[in-house]
Structure 1
């Protein structure tokens, strides 16, 4: 499975970059899935809905299905958080999986960076970051490719070259 990540600090532009990359790469005819890591508790279900009621009653997994989509929710109930590899094993085959977050995992990544956050670059200390996409790329100096954060086409070209597509 071809895998590429987007990482960076909070408010660095990761989600916007992911969204643009998915749109660009799928427009080029490739199938893409995504994995997003959340550091906080989240709920994809709505209180009072049937699926919420099933989960709230104690179901370990709740599978919703319609003619348009399916969604499988797994309640960990104290079990350890699954690893990225565990989660990838659950995905259907696609040309490329884009991963947002998981900055400590060892897959190749692009770092999203916005100067206004005041956060330092992660890239100088992390060899898995193969390029940086920044709103201040012209002012940065690194030993790897630098892109403008909004240059989606060039970033997509880079990722597709990196994974051999």
Structure 2
């Protein structure tokens, strides 16, 4: 999101990337992370990685056609988001009929998603 660098100067994954690695995996006893150039995975490959998941939340994917939950903070609303916005979460900034959830309404948002997509698998 916004050119965020996940691996930083001094880290082995950073050195791997600088040396030319297009894909690096780091693993601990409790977590796994894959670092990749954006061009390494296409959308279909990413879908395969998450195929056993009921929901996948992707931060910063404003250009794909994937359905989106628009997270509203104190900034001005964005007009450049592609794909269907199915709900708004956060500060109320519009008066539309779109489903809106306050930041405390996590259970209600989850229920909305389950009801909307329960028959899609």
TM-score by length of 1: 0.54
Taking CA–CA contacts closer than 8 Å with sequence separation of 6 or more, which of the two structures ends up with the larger relative contact order?
A: 1
Which residue of 97, 103, 121 corresponds with 1:143?
A: 97
Does the 8 Å CA contact 2:101/2:109 hold for their aligned counterparts? yes
* 2:110 pairs with 1:156: yes
Give the whole-Å Cα distance in 2 for the aligned partners of 1:110 and 1:67.
32
Does the 8 Å CA contact 1:135/1:148 hold for their aligned counterparts? yes
* Matching residue of 1:95: 54
Which residue of 71, 87, 102 corresponds with 2:33?
A: 71
Inter-CA distance 60–109: structure 2 relative to 1 (3 Å threshold): closer
Q: Secondary structure at the match of 1:131?
A: strand
Structure 2 gap segments, 5+ residues each? none
Inter-CA distance 126–50: structure 2 relative to 1 (3 Å threshold): closer
Higher strand share: 1
* Matching residue of 1:39: 2
Structure 1 gap segments, 5+ residues each? 1-37
Give the whole-Å Cα distance in 2 for the aligned partners of 1:141 and 1:66.
46
Aligned length: 118
Deviations 1:97-148 (A, max 9, x none): 122232232222222223x32x2465xx9771122224236xx421322322
Structural RMSD (CA): 3.1
Give the whole-Å Cα distance in 2 for the aligned partners of 1:121 and 1:45.
28
Inter-CA distance 63–110: structure 2 relative to 1 (3 Å threshold): closer
Q: Secondary structure at the match of 1:68?
A: coil
Inter-CA distance 151–68: structure 2 relative to 1 (3 Å threshold): closer
